[in-house]
């Protein structure tokens, strides 16, 4: 379970509370969108991520090692994916974001949805072209790459989430 220890010793042990605490302590970091409506929407999306999508989490445990081929998500997982895509579309519509991130500039909303993007990529889940582009931008972002590299430092033997499906290498950025 993640936790944040503040300089005064206070421990914050929930991701949304950690995000709010960091944004409060570092207001110039731009962790939330500057626009009040976009900021409220970003908080809503983060809360939905922190408390929801149980079918996706259950069917697709977090793994960053490879891409499963032939994974067939059940109806509940597909419903979670549809809800996620609805939220992402709403964020982009509300913020008028034309770039890769949900609210224009990279924000805590993108941080919170990085595990979702990793699951979509890692299980090759069926999503729209727009959602796939967002996931690709996420997994090729330097912060995500650093997070993934740290996660890969732990080796599991045997691999705890074996599915018995073919797998291929995790996508890497194409050379420019």
Q: What is the pLDDT of residue 175?
A: 45
Q: What is the pLDDT of residue 176?
A: 43
Q: How many domains does the chain have?
A: 1
User: Would you say residue 32 lies in a domain?
Assistant: no
User: Would you say residue 74 lies in a domain?
Assistant: yes
Report CA-CA distances (Å) from 139 to 26, 75, 132.
25, 26, 11
User: Would you say residue 122 lies in a domain?
Assistant: yes
User: Would you say residue 85 lies in a domain?
Assistant: yes
User: Would you say residue 36 lies in a domain?
Assistant: no
User: Would you say residue 126 lies in a domain?
Assistant: yes
Q: Please, how many CA atoms are within 13 Å of residue 63, restricted to the half-sphere of its CB?
A: 21
Q: In 10 A of CB 176, how many CB atoms?
A: 3
The domain containing residue 88 runs over which residues?
54-169
Helix or strand (DSSP H, E) at 169? strand 167-169
Rg (the chain; Cα; Å): 17
Q: What is the pLDDT of residue 173?
A: 59
User: Would you say residue 145 lies in a domain?
Assistant: yes
User: Would you say residue 93 lies in a domain?
Assistant: yes
Please list the rounded mean pLDDT of every run of 10 residues in the chain (176 residues).
90 93 94 94 95 96 94 98 96 86 95 96 97 96 94 86 92 62
Q: What is the pLDDT of residue 159?
A: 85
């Amino acid at each position: 379970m993640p936790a944040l220890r503040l300089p005064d010793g206070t421990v914050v042990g929930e991701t949304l509370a950690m995000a709010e605490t960091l944004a409060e302590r570092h207001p110039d970091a731009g962790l939330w969108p500057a626009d009040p409506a976009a900021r409220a929407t970003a908080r809503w999306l983060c809360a939905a991520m922190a408390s929801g999508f149980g079918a996706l989490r259950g069917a697709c445990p977090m793994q960053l090692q490879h891409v499963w081929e032939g994974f067939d998500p059940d109806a509940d997982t597909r419903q979670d994916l549809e809800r996620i895509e609805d939220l992402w579309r709403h964020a982009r519509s509300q913020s008028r974001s034309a770039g890769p991130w949900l609210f224009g500039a990279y924000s805590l909303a993108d941080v919170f949805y990085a595990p979702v993007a990793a699951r979509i990529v890692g299980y090759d889940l069926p999503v729209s072209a727009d959602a796939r582009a967002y996931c690709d931008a996420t997994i090729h972002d330097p912060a995500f790459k650093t997070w993934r590299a740290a996660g890969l430092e732990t080796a599991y033997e045997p691999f705890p989430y074996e599915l018995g499906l073919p797998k291929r290498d995790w996508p890497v950025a194409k050379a420019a």
